[in-house]
Every structure is written in C-alpha cells, then in structure tokens.
Chain A
Amino acid sequence: MKKKKFSISKMIVNILLIIGIVAVSFPFVWMILSSVKSTADFYSFSFWPKSLDLSGYKYVFEKTDFTRWYFNSFIVAIVVTISNIIFCSLIGYTLAKFRFTGAKLIFLIILSTMMIPTEMLIIPWYVFSSDFQWVDTYWGLIFPGLMEAFGIFLMRQFMLSVPEDILDAARIDGMGEFKIWLRIAMPQVKPAISALAIITFLGNWNAYLWPVIVTNTAAMRTLPVGIAMYGTSDAGGIQWNTIMAMSSLTVIPMIIVFLIFQRQIVEGIALSGTKG
C-alpha cells in the first residue's frame, strides 16, 4: 500500500520535472537548431530549420582560429580549476578547523574581496600584467583567478560539517596536519570539491571581459572572445549561424566535463558511509 502511494507521488514529480526540462532546455535547443539554419531563416518563425545548413560550422573551422581558442580556454580553465581545488580547500579547511588569532579577520578580508566588482580591478590587473610582461600570455589570463574568494568561502562552509572526532582520531594516530587535511578532510567534502571544480572550470571557460583586455593576438584568444568577435553588428551584420555554431561547440565539452564530475559526486555518496 505504502509502496504504491510512493510511486504515484514519484510520477507527479517526474511529470513536473519533465515540464521543467522542456522550459529550461528550450533556449539551448533553439541554439542548436539555429546553428544549422541559414542566415535568412533567422527572421522567419519556423521552429525547424528549412534546410540543413552547415555553413556556420564550416565557417568556424575553415575561417577562424577556433581550435586554438578551444585549446586556450581549456588550458586556462584547467590550471585555474586545479589551483582553486588545492588552495581553496586548504584555506577553507584552515579557517574552519583551526582556532587562532585573526582567523575571523582573515576570513572577513577574503570574503570582502568578493564585494569589489572585478570590472574595477581590471586596470590594476592590466598594469600588473604589463609590468611583468604577462600581457598576451597564458599567465596573464590565469593569474587573477588562481584563488577565488568564492571557492574559499564554499570550502570553508563544507569543511565546517566535517566531524571533529575523525580529525582528532587521526591526530592521536600521529598524522601530520597537512596529511590530515589531504587524507581525512578532503575525501569528506568530495561533493563540494566536485561542485567547486565544475563552477570554477565553467567560470573560466566562459570568462569574457578580462580575456579581451589581456590578450592582443588572435592566437591567445579564448572561446567567448572569439564568439564576441562575430557578434558585432557594426562588423557587417551578425553572422547568426556562426555564433550559434560556435556556442553549441563550446557547450559540448562542458557536458562531458560535467558527466565526469557527476561520477565524483556519486562516489561522494558511496563514501558517506564512513561518516557520522
């Protein structure tokens, strides 16, 4: 009896979720459909493309540095992500699990840096990059994001929920503090690390303003900058299908990355057996 009731409610949830999916994914579906439309089709209201037009994709691969931008975006996003995983979890752990003078102050200072719009920091960062000759290099693209206050805050919140007794147990076993962080605390917050990794990766993969400012040559551009170059109406009409093709191609690896980290989240569930 109880089981039957459960499955009905499950079905309702399912139906609602499907409606949600249709609504949420619509712009995305529209993007992919648009990428195979001819430019003229953009101004009439057909849902499906009138004919399959791959000229957008053709243009992307033949006329632009697309693969290079892809590579650049990937390098930048991966380095920043790894750096954030290491540093943010270490700092978050320290702030959550150690009591020392100034802990609160340091936390508040780091938190307060989130309150300054990055747009305002662009000029100082550029001056900085220029002094160190980082303009138009990977380092220039990377350095502002190496440790995000956001990540530190996130990891601190999750580290708070790591039970104190397993840390103490490790200390009694004579484990060093660094090892305790790495071996004991880190596995406890795996889902949060996955979340941090996904968010940081995406944030950098999609970053726009800073990459425009700090790069000079086409070879150093990242994907969003590349897309924006074809989205300027002043530059002779918008190449809608090119933009849509590039955007679609930009999202696909994200889905793959997300799939990979989804596994990590599930592993996190499996590990939670050792908790509490």
Chain B
Amino acid sequence: MLDAKIPNGELKSKWSTYQAESKLLNPANRKKVSIIVVGSGLAGAGAAATLGELGYNVDCFCYQDSARRAHSVAAQGGVNAAKNYQHDGDSVWRMFYDTLKGGDFRSREANVYRLAELSAPLIDHFTQQGVPFAREYGGVLTNRSFGGVQVQRTFYARGQTGQQLLLAAYSQLSKMVKQGNVKMHPRTEMLDLVIIDGKAKGVITRNLETGELKKFMANAVVLATGGYSRVFRLSTLAIGCNGSAIWAAHKKGAFFAAPSFTQIHPTALPQSSELQSKLTLMSESLRNDGRIWVPKKAGDSRKANEIPEEDRDYYLERKYPSFGNLAPRDISSRSAKEQIDSGHGVGVLKNAVYLDFKHAIERLGIEVIKDRYGNLFQMYEKITGINAYQEPMMISPAAHFSMGGLWVDYELMTTVPGLYAIGECNYSDHGANRLGANSLLQASIDGYFILPNTINNYLADEMKYDQPDISHDEFSKCLEEVEARIKMLLKIDGLKTVDHYHRELGKIMWQECAMSRNKAGLEKAISEIKELKSEFWKNVKVTGSNNELNPELEKALRLADFIELGELMCLDALQREESCGAHFREEYQSPEGEAVRNDDEYSYVSAWEYSSGEYQLHREELNFEYIKPTIRSYK
C-alpha cells in the first residue's frame, strides 16, 4: 500500500501544519546544495526561480531555445482562484468541492484542498510580478466563468493567460540566472536519471546542438516536464512535448500513476489531413457565449447558415439543461464524439461540431464579442480561412492534458527518494478529469509554493551524508547506456520514418484509449503496440549523426519512449473496470449512456511499477473524509 504522507489534522490546517512541522535548511547550508530542475514551464521556471531565490544552486534544463517557449505559454483561457471577488458564492471550500467532484473522486482530498487554498495568494503573486490581468474600468481585477463551474473564479489576460503567467515565471527565472543562482541549459534534453544508493542523484543530458552527452550531479532532482499527450501524435500539445524524462524515471523505479487518464479537450480545430502534425486548441472560454450544435438530420450537407433553427440540435443544452454548453470537458467531448459517430458531424472530414456565436452577437453586439474573444476569432480565420463572426466555428475533440503522471506524495516526491515531479508530469490534483483553468494553477503552485516548502524536509536529512560526484560509476554506466541506445537507433537504417511510426501509434491510441475504451479494443491495442515496438526497432530510419543538431534523432528517441508509455496507458485503462471522468469504459455505463463509477472496488490511484518490461500494480487507497463521493450529474 502506498503512503501519500498526508498530514494529520483538520483538512483546513493540513498544509500549515505540514509547514510548521517540516524540517528546514539554514541559508548557509542551502549554498552547498545543488538541485536539478528539468523543464522550464510554469512549474519548472517557478520552482527554479524560487529555489534560486532561497539560495540553492540550481541547474535548469529545457529542450527549447529559451525558457520562454515552454508549452505553458499556449494556455489561453485563465487561471482559477477562490477570491470571491464577484460575490457569487465562491470560496476555498467550493473550489475544493468543484475540483474533487470534477475529477470524479479519483484525487486526494488533502492535495485538492491545498490547491484551492493556495489559489488566492497565487493571483497576488502574479499581479505583483507584472501579469496584466484583465481589469474593470475602476481598476479592480475582473473574472469570467469557465467550463464545469457555475461561479466566476477565472482570472485572465485576454486569451493569452498562459503566456503572461509563463513570461512572469521566465522573468523571475531570468533574474536568478543573472544573479548566478540558476544556470540555464536551453536546447538540452534529459535522457536518463542517475540513482545512487536508491536516491536520485543526477541526470544524463544531451546537448541538442552538439549531441554532447553530459553528467549532472545534484542533491535532488525535480522533474517539471509537462504532459505526454503527444503519445496520440495529434494533440493540442507543442510538437516537442514528450514523456522521455518521466519515462526514464519510471524505468528507474518511479511509479507511474493513472497513465490512461487523458483529458480530451472539446474545443480544438478539427483535423483536416493525414499529414497534419498537431491540433490547435481554441480556448474553452468560447463556450461561455458560443452555442454548440449539429444538424438534426444525419448527413445534412447544407451550409451552416442555411440550416434553420428547427433543424439544429443544441445537444448539450438538450441533454444537460443546467450546465448546457458549459458541461465539463469529458462530457462535452464524449457528447461530440457521439454526434460525430452517429453521422451528425460537419466539415470536410465530418469530424466536427458547430460552435455558434450568432445568438451571442445578436444579444451582446459584435464589439463585445470582439473584445472578449477577438484574438481567438483571428486565429481561427488564419488557420481555416473562415470568418466566424459570419458563420459558426467548427470544433472537434482533441487529446490535451495528461492527468496521469509520476505518482507523488503530499510533498510532491515520487517513489524514488530525492526525485520530485511537479506540474502536469505528476499525478496529483485533477483526478480523472481536470477542470478548466486549473492546470496553470496547479503548475504554478507546485513550482512556486509547494515544492520549495517540501524539498527542505528531504534535503535537511540528506545533507548529513557524503555527496557522490559525477565520477561515480553509476554516472558512467548511465551515460554508456544512453550512448548505446542512440547508436542502436542510428544503426538500424530501415525503411520507415519516425513520423510513420508516430502516426501508427497515434491511430491505435486515439481509436482505443481516448474518449471511450472497451476490453476487446484495449487488448487489441496492447498487442498492436507490442508489434509496433518491435517493428520500430527493426525498421526505423534515422539519418544524420549523433554529433550535430539532429531533429530526427530527437524525435526517434522520444517516440521509442512514447511507444512503451502507450502500452502502459492501455494496460491501465484495461485494468480499471469502471467509468470515471476521462476514462469511459463502454462496459460500464447506464442505460442513458452516462458513466458508471465503481467506488467500492476502484476508489484508488493506480500506481504502476516497472520491472524488466513488466508492470506491477500498486494501490493508493483514496479516503474521502470531508466530501462523500456523489454521482457527477450535470443534467
């Protein structure tokens, strides 16, 4: 049984109790400590900057050319905080409740409460750092509501909230780089984790410009590498987002939790061709004013504006009258899939539904809509060539956020001592489904507020031991293994490209392990992925060498990991015989097609241990002391 190290006492005081009781490291000793942070998004940059500020020596790595490019930059809609500025009944408790319920009771109460508790000071923190949040004319901050909740608790900076929060974190990181406390390593990828005496002690990296492999030692390693939904190939994630660092950690002993919980976002732009490399996300905030519909008649080939009201099916409003177009992401995505699968899809590939602003424009006027969503409408027109002020947008579900990730305890430490995972790459606060505008929040508080307060607890003891350095045999062994793997990939010289295999993997995953799953499909997927893996290692073709900037080699290394991760995702989905949140097992649904959760048997976090290609399941039982699990109904 896994111990999440949840502090004793009342829910409301768990975090303050933890902070009061955890060990500290005095400032003189912090100078002697080095910490590796892999990733420089909101979680990574926030952590690296704060740890630098505290006086630690930090090495921070990112694969992009600058920390400012991390994919947190792309989040559009906003960041949640329970400030109740709008007096619409919001509170820390309500946010905790919404998040726990939204995650279908598959997350930890203590973590979720802390998420809500730290949300309000986070807004103060970002405001102080110069985030130009949207304001009222009188100068106070304004809010909007976001998918899945009925209060206005989302703070935003136009449709570029992620960009502004990331730039604030990047600017704080830059300050610490200048001060010399953080050393930034851009265009550098972590390829392996070094474990000595059972503890995380360093990483092996590859300089993407020169191919040089290097050893880095530290007293603790923090992974902040974001989500792994590129396993589906087509996703809303940046092309470089990958799971390699967490996969390396998993293979070195870190348990992987709930790998199959992937959020499928309901408002992406539909795929338009086979060779497409990614799907673009449209902010979910569009659902505040846009109405979603499909033609009532399957296969209706009329243009959207030619279809009269009586022939339109506003299916979310019909099925979920109290939430309507704001129904949570899993429900909205699955409902869209039902419409598409039953022949009501629209667009060239019949894989989309309409998101219509006609009524909002009539009600509010075009200027209001332009002010609220102008940049999103521009983006839509750039990509599709369609003016959405005049005809409805077309949207489609797309693989988006990974709720799963490395298992972490209340301190955000993985099952490997000294190895932490923060932000999207961990499994913690979102359960089986993430509420809109909670991802920026979780990444930020993990990096800024939680990790810098929990890592001391480990380091205070760790300081008592002798520290190994990079001359330790384990470093050389890891480096040689990485080198051998790269050489092997370059030697295959087969007939198929990396992208070919990625497309194949993506098809299997999207078909069998995305919006809905079933036993037969998952079993088939597992066997197909195994075949794909063996075929990849026999027949992939990677040109160029290791000693240069080689984008094909980078892709090949990442894909090799994605293939293995894809198999574990299917295994996890197969094992969980219930429907919850993003995990919808077709065998477990009500006669009306709603998800049926099985709390008696599955109220636990699945945490998988890797051992020579086999996976063993461990369970962290979830105890709900404060909120009794209820059925999520949005009708």
Same complex for A and B? Answer no
